[in-house]
Structure 1
């Protein structure tokens, strides 16, 4: 069986080797107080790490991005907004996350931009709750951009574009 990519060893920006998901969790700034991690019940180590870093864990049978976002937003529906952080992007700087959050407003999407490309994590203001909860399957929230005021947050951080889909990408260079 292939190893869960979220548990693959990953050398972070600090030179420390941790599982991919732990690198993501380490990079969340303390200002992100309410944290939800959506995963399936068959990932006990991912669940353990999420809880160790102060996340509420939401178990979901579907692995689809849309289903995951919808479930997390529904579980935290009283929030003033949401930050969608991907579990396979371990090199995002905490300062980039803080910049995206700082630009978040009720009727706005804030997205980091590095060298002209949209990256992650993406912030959604409170007015996007219904749209986020309506997502299904493996489609993410990109369709919501068409009907939104999008604040592009310029960052000098290649980590906002860097997911770890192949083994060579597990090392910060």
Structure 2
């Protein structure tokens, strides 16, 4: 099952990048394969949310990855290997945006979705999409705290393509503060990720 748009409202052309190239050191095993209460894997759950909202998406993984059952139902999803994944999220992001640029992707923006955020609401993603613009960085905010996904307009892609390592795109965001649009949402899932097995417990 590839990522297909199932909503009723047409939105700007946005490509989703599902970042799943981490090594899960704090989790102790491959958290992408971890099962949630409903039996689905963590990665499968995130992809189910993404597929409701984004017309196109790429799954960013390590070159050596064989995810098998973690991708149940999504085996034909577009995959993108990140050769610099070992250098942190920034390395994977740099690889992904260099590839988008080399492909001359026509999207107005790219939504960076972390694969370990299974409680993110699809409605939140749809709300962010309505604010997408080629010169904007759009991010959700809940109870005064920002989270993910973050939509980067295509004008920011060259800066993101320069990333070689580190924690992510924080430096790019700080260098382009005037482009940041924080959108208030009623969704704690924007900052509830999975770092340890204990985090798999359903939210209260």
Which TM-score bucket, shorter chain as reference? 0.7 to 0.9
1:48-59 to 2 correspondences below 5 Å: 49=71, 52=74, 55-59=77-81
Q: 1:93 aligns with which of 101, 113, 121?
A: 121
Query: Which SS does the other structure have where 1:123 is aligned?
Result: strand
Q: Runs ≥4 in structure 1, deviation > 6 angstroms?
A: none
Tell me the CA shift for residue 69 of structure 1: 1.1
Rate the CA distance shift 1:51–1:35 in 2: closer, same or farther, 3 A: farther
Aligned residue pairs, count:
169
Tell me the CA shift for residue 76 of structure 1: 2.1
1:52-131 to 2 correspondences below 5 Å: 52=74, 55-63=77-85, 64-77=88-101, 78=105, 79-131=107-159
Equivalent residues of 1:93, 1:157 under 8 A apart: yes
CA shift digits 1:23-53 (9 cap, x unpaired): 1101114341221111123331269718816
Q: 1:156 aligns with which of 186, 193, 202?
A: 186
> Any unmatched runs of 5+ in structure 1?
none
Q: TM-score, normalised by structure 2?
A: 0.75
CA shift digits 1:10-34 (9 cap, x unpaired): 23xxxx2211111110111434122
Equivalent residues of 1:25, 1:53 under 8 A apart: no
Equivalent residues of 2:59, 2:77 under 8 A apart: yes
Whole-Å Cα distance in 2 between the matches of residues 113 and 54 of structure 1?
A: 33
Rate the CA distance shift 1:61–1:73 in 2: closer, same or farther, 3 A: closer
CA RMSD in angstroms, aligned pairs only: 2.2
Match of 1:8 in 2: 34
Query: Which SS does the other structure have where 1:76 is aligned?
Result: helix
Match of 1:138 in 2: 166
Rate the CA distance shift 1:80–1:33 in 2: closer, same or farther, 3 A: same
Q: TM-score, normalised by structure 1?
A: 0.87
CA shift digits 1:94-143 (9 cap, x unpaired): 00111112111111100000110010000011100101111111231111
